[in-house]
Each structure stands twice: as C-alpha cells, then as structure tokens.
Structure 1
C-alpha cells in the first residue's frame, strides 16, 4: 500500500486472501461470516487504520445521516433546551445535526433551508422565523423528498408535521391566578399580530377574562415587534394610561425583562405596583431577587424530543421499500399543554 493512501476493502481482502464481499460483510457483522474471519478482518482493518468510504455508503443507502435544525436563536434558553433533546435523539440514531440560526430573518432562514437542501440532509426540524409569512419552501422540500417537522413557531397551515404547545391552558391559569389575587386591571403585552401564536394567546386572554367576570378593556392589549424598543414602548403605553393595569401577562420572558425595566424606570415596583406572568419559564428567574409572579411552561425539551422522534419516523417511512409518504403529505400535529409553574410571589 502506498504511503498516505487510504486503505480499502480490496487491500484487506488481498492481504487475507478472501473476497471483498466477505470483508464487507465481516466489517458489518453479517451473520453469514464466521466469528474467526470477522475477527481477522476487523483486526487487520484496525491495524491499517481503515475507515469506511462514507460517500459510497451514503450513495448506496440514499442517506447522508444528517438532519438540519433551524432555530431563531440559540441564545434563548427555550431553544437551547430544545436542541439538546434533538441532538440526544439524533445521536441515538447515529445521526449528525447541522444547525442554523435564522435570527428571525426570513431571507436568512430561506438561505439556510436551501443550503441544507443542496447538502441533502435527510430531514429538517424548524422553528419558523417570527417574520416569515411565505412558506413555499415546504413544497420544494417535499418534492426533494426531505421531510420537515415544525415546532414552537409553527405556520398556520394544515398539511404540515408539527409539535405545538396549547398556549390557551397556560393563559387561562395565569388569568385565574391574577383574578384569585384580586386583580381586575389585567393587561396583555402581545407579540406581532400576524403570528398564529399571538392570535392564540389573545383569544385565550379574552376568554379567560370573560370566564372570570372581568370586562375587556381594549387599551389593555398592546403589541410589540419583540425588539427591546418595541417591548419598552408597549409597556410604557400601559403605564401611561389614566388607569394603569395592576397585572400583566407578556408574550415571552424577554418581553417581561424589558417590561420590568420600563416599570422600574418610572419609579414603580415590580410585584407591588405591577405584577407579571409570562411565557415560557426562563431558567434564570429563580436566581433573581424580584422575578415575575409566575411563568407559563411550554416544555421546550419535550417539544424538541417529540419533533426529533416524528422526523425520524418520516425518514424511516420514506426509505422503506414502496413506502406510502401520506404521512408527509397529510401532516400530523402533536399538542402539548402549557401550564402555570414557579409561582414566585
């Protein structure tokens, strides 16, 4: 064998005076090959530092053994918890995860999707960018035989596979908790109005007020684009009302952080002048001296694990002989219930 040249199955077969097919089967522990032959083949392969030709394997099996995961931002604890569970599941299947961050930019998201398509990932798990409104890429990936599973931020479409959180249950518990503490002036800082998650939260907020006999004040529902300025402006809009609210539910924990800062900037005290409950149970709250009154848990780790499980079911189905890909075409959704946790006050 030439110096620097990678050893091959042919080289091993030549040295052991056996066929290349026997070597291949022995390396893959095929039951038709005897134990002694298998041990001899593996011993020589180890001595020669033999490595399988992954490209040939991928071509033969029509797999790259990689999946793509696209998230808005890894800096958010929610998505860190999700990707950990996704990677754990992928690793158990001997798959590698290729990660991309959209940073909530639709163009960046589409570029990442196209790159993953070109590199022939076997499937994609995606939490859509909050500003994405066009989803033509779903059909493009479907035609390329690449299944997609959404989670958390999910398009309001029928024929998709997704893991979603029922945001209404947590909202109901939040309003019930505020009402039980005597709050009547309850406000809501919502996210961008076009998001399905924003619409779901708002409907749940209004329903929960009605169930508690609290009149709806439209001035108590404000919106943010989720930027620091947007969060602050939305909070000041509430604070500056002639009758400011005493309790606020906010779209997520990052909105709440900015909102609490805005409250303090006006000389008000969190959990005294204004109380907060927000989605989605930021882990750092327990280390803060004055955290929100409670959090609404959306189970990001479980969402990630179930998204990975669903994706591999689709990958396995797609690679079976004469497989029916109706699961990819028709779509399937698993719904997890959000819930109120960590009542700090």
Structure 2
C-alpha cells in the first residue's frame, strides 16, 4: 500500500508546537525565530514533507494559472513573447493556459470566456486584427480578473498595456532611407482598425514631413495581413506610373510576400526598390533577398514586462482596489532599426 503523506499536523505533533507555527516556519515568516524555523524545516526534510498546493491555493484564493490569448503562436514574434511570459511565470510558480484567436474576433471572445470560467488568476492578451468589440474585455474587468495587453492594444481607456514604440522605429526607417537618397517612399500598412497601423501611419507621415517630403496618398496601401492581401497591396504600388523607390512593410511576413511579388515584376530588390520591415524576425536570415533593414520590437522583453506587471497586480489587488484613481501601467519599449544591408 502507498504510504501516507506527511502533513503539517505530523510535524506539529512531533515538535509539540502548533500547526500555525509549523506553517509560518515553513514559509520563513518573520514572526518565527531562527531556531524554530531550523527545527521545523529539518524535520520536514527528514519526513519528506511536500506542501499541499491545492490547499494553499484555496487558502490564497489563487489557482496560480495565467491565461494568454494571442493571434498565432506560429509567428516567431508571438512565440518569443510567450517565452518571455513563461520564464517570468515559471519563476513565480504560475502555469500558462494558452489560446490562439487566429485573428478571429468570435474565437477570441470564446477563448476569453472559457479562461474566465476556468478561473484564471489573470490574463495577458494581444487582440486579433479583426477585433472591434471589446465587451469580452469589459466582462473580465467586471469579474475582477486583471488583464495586461501586449503588442496589439485595444482602443480602450483605463487598461494596462505594454507595446513597442512604433513611431520612433518608423522615424528611424524613414531617416535611414532618406540618407540613402530615397524620396519616393511607400508604406504597406496593416488593417486600418488596428491601433498599431494608425501609429505606423502617423510616424510615417511625420517622418516624411520632417525630411521635407510631401506625403503621397498613393504610396500608402493597406493589407489584411494575409498572403493575398500582401500581394494585392504590393501590386497596387508596382502598378503606379511613378513606382516608389523604397517600401516599408508592416512586418517581415508582409515584406517577404512583397519582395516575392516585386521579383516577379523583374524589380531588383534593394536596388530598384529598397525594403524595410517591422519585427526583425529570424525568417529574414533565410531569405534570398531579405529587407535592407528591420525594426526590432523586442518581443521577449514585452512578454517579460507584461507578466511582471500582471503578477504585481495579483500580489497587491487590495491596494489597487482601495485607490480612488488606480494607476494604470502604460509602457512603450523603444524600437530599434537593425540594418542588414548597408550599401
């Protein structure tokens, strides 16, 4: 027969002390003297004592479970974010419950509701490109489930989020191209409803104006971020009477499709038309003709910081609830232009 597990009661009886004293000694509570702590912890080790995590979690009203919702884990950008999340969560004994929206608003809503029903302690969310209704996020707020958004941020007030400072990266990209002699610079942007697309466009237009280049509306096209959408957006630029001499793409995958389409049109890559993309993913290292430069958005650090914020919220929920005006963490990490081809 399987031997019975040692409990706090067993340790308390052998040492002739209370259960509460044993519990505090095992958790290194400041109210317990060093000698008592050593006696308790030594006996616990001898008896192979293992804490009852279910009982501890029930007492703390925690499951030590974090929900993570993102568009797709197949993209290196998001898998890097998950690695950052998991590393911080693991060190704090939290487990992740992961869901992919696949850029479908209905699927995202269902995942959020399921995680709420599973009583996750908190959630980390990057919204789908098609999400325009935020009722499921308001539901989490009403259920007092703290949320930290990352990378793709909803257009909501009073939320915690962390993202990359896209406008500064766009400014670096435009300045780099202008220094190379480019004046006809185009942008393949993402879906218009994404705040990240709006930030890219604003940075793009501001950088052009600072370089005394009048923005050309024909040089700004949009993609739904599918391969078909990327190809269609590129074709519209290549069909212009005055083709752009440089294209900045929403991300590396958009750039990859755009470069393939340009090659089919007999365009000499990074000669006739130079390309710059966002994200700086490793796929660029395996392309025959990679973008001339890419804008690093530090996804791993986004995941780390988002999780640190969430865990701080979970460790001090009462303090936040008592505040008349809670402090919301809004963090933008600086992006950085990484030059691949300097010529």
Do both proteins adopt the same fold according to a TM-score greater than 0.5, normalized to the shorter chain? yes
TM-score normalised by the chain length of structure 2 = 0.90
Give CA-to-partner distance per residue, 1:230-285, whole Å, 9 cap, x none.
00010011111111111101111110011011111222221122110011111232
State the 1:25 CA deviation.
4.8
Task: Name the counterpart of 1:186.
Answer: 185
Q: Measured at CA, do residues 203 and 41 of structure 1 come closer, stay the same or move farther in structure 2, by a change above 3 Å?
A: closer
Q: Measured at CA, do residues 262 and 36 of structure 1 come closer, stay the same or move farther in structure 2, by a change above 3 Å?
A: same
Q: Measured at CA, do residues 25 and 210 of structure 1 come closer, stay the same or move farther in structure 2, by a change above 3 Å?
A: closer
Task: Name the counterpart of 2:173.
Answer: 174
Task: Name the counterpart of 1:126.
Answer: 125
Q: Matches of 1:38 and 1:200 in 2, distance apart?
A: 55
Task: Name the counterpart of 2:257.
Answer: 258
Task: Name the counterpart of 1:209.
Answer: 208
Q: 1:83-122 maps to which residues of 2 (within 5 A)?
A: 83-122=82-121
TM-score normalised by the chain length of structure 1 = 0.89
Q: Matches of 1:221 and 1:98 in 2, distance apart?
A: 38
Aligned length: 337
Task: Name the counterpart of 1:324.
Answer: 322
Task: Name the counterpart of 2:5.
Answer: 7
Tell me the secondary structure at the aligned position of residue 162 of structure 1: strand
Tell me the secondary structure at the aligned position of residue 272 of structure 2: coil
> Where do 5+ consecutive residues of structure 2 fail to align?
none
State the 1:289 CA deviation.
3.8
Q: Matches of 1:14 and 1:213 in 2, distance apart?
A: 78
State the 1:224 CA deviation.
0.5
State the 1:186 CA deviation.
1.0
Q: Matches of 2:103 and 2:282 in 1, distance apart?
A: 22
State the 1:53 CA deviation.
3.0
Task: Name the counterpart of 2:243.
Answer: 244
- Does the 8 Å contact 1:12/1:41 carry over to 2? no
Task: Name the counterpart of 1:35.
Answer: 38
RMSD: 2.4
Tell me the secondary structure at the aligned position of residue 192 of structure 1: coil
**Is 1:280 aligned to residue 279 of structure 2?**
yes
> Where do 5+ consecutive residues of structure 1 fail to align?
none
